[in-house]
Amino acid sequence: MTTNTGKDTGQQRRGKRRTFVSLFLDVGVPIGSYYLLKGVFGMSAVAALGWSTVVPVLRTAWGVLKQRDVNALPLLILLANLVGLLLGFETGDARLLLVKDSAVASLVGFVMLGSVLVGRPMMTGFLKPWLVKGDADREAAWVRLRRESRAFRRAERLFTGVWGAAFVGECALRIVGVYSFSVDTMVWLGTVVMIVTMLVAFVVSGALGAGPMTHMIGANVREAEGNSSLAGSTHG
């Protein structure tokens, strides 16, 4: 069996760093920028919201340009952000800019749910590296299970389905909040809703999707090793 403990540890550290940087750029910078631009520099709510989204939009645009193959998800997020910004500045409605974030979440959610219905779960590309961990035996087990196990494919679909439903639900909650609370309140409250939704989705998708898939991959690897050992002893 192939062991990649050192490699896995390095990949996990790099993954954590990327996650931290993403949270800082996509969540921390926009919130801090909004209150700084509005409270210190005296910008209007619309202008502060617009300028505070520049970093996430540029980061998403760079990610799209850097990909050799166009990835539908970041491209969808980028286009939704740009359309929301244009509408917000055109109408001068700060709440519309906040709704833009909800629109992005709902679009992503519906696309994820659609990908489940057509049998091509969108979150598989994100999930597979975490479960396979660069191990050739686990990669082979993944391929076998996707081909032979209905339970494995169902868990794979459930993982994406949970995240899709979470995004759509978050959208509904944030839209209600946008028209129930002040703009200043929703700038931070919307982020709280997003974080809580992500945490719930992480737990539920792990229980229904990633967890069972991890167990099945491990069992399949052990079964393959047992069959290989049995075949070797028979030939011996």
pTM for the model: 0.72
**Nearest 10 degrees: Cα torsion 114, 117, 122, 124:** 170
Q: How far apart are CA 166 and CA 106, in angstroms?
A: 9
* Averaged pLDDT for residues 65-78: 57
Tell me the pLDDT tens digit for each residue of 2-19: 445 555 556 556 655 765
**165: confidence class by pLDDT, cuts 50, 70, 90:** very high
Tell me the pLDDT tens digit for each residue of 87-117: 666 667 778 777 876 777 788 889 899 999 9
**134: confidence class by pLDDT, cuts 50, 70, 90:** confident
- How does the average pLDDT of the chain come out, rounded? 79
Tell me the pLDDT tens digit for each residue of 190-211: 888 888 998 999 999 999 999 9
155 with 209: CB under 8 angstroms? yes
